[in-house]
Amino acid sequence: MIKIAIISLITVVVAVMSKSIKSEYGFFAGFAGCIILVYLGMDKLSGIVGIIDKLKSYLSGNSGYITLLIKMLGIAYVAELTSGICKDAGHAAIASQVEMIGKFSILLISTPIIEALFDTVFLMIR
């Protein structure tokens, strides 16, 4: 985490200094920093994959729900990253649209889980 914090701070300093030369340079420096941080964050996935495999073994018949949860997390991450980049570039309206579409996508993907939850609740009530 310290490596990520240091790279983040260096990226911010380079982006701010580059922005004084030409505003596009600051944006590209920040974008490059985001790509580097995403690459470094991929190392954390190995631990998460182990946990997900363990959860799948607990839900032997319904491992599709874990897959849906992973997709929802991926959508949330991509939407947040894209929104942040759009905001840094000065396009707040586009950023808010990206966030809204990300939320709608998560809601759409989560419908099988919500449906299964309601089915379970209704079975318990009857």
Residue identified by tokens 């939320």 is 103
Provide mean pLDDT across the span 25-42. Answer: 86
Rounded CA-CA distance 67/18 in Å is 41
pLDDT at 61 over 70: no
Rounded CA-CA distance 115/23 in Å is 48
- Taking only the tens place, the pLDDT of each residue in 37-60 is 888 888 777 777 778 778 777 776
- Taking only the tens place, the pLDDT of each residue in 68-105 is 888 898 899 899 989 998 888 888 999 999 999 999 99
* Domain chopping of the chain, boundaries: 1-58, 60-126
pTM exceeds 0.85 for this model: no
pLDDT at 116 over 80: yes
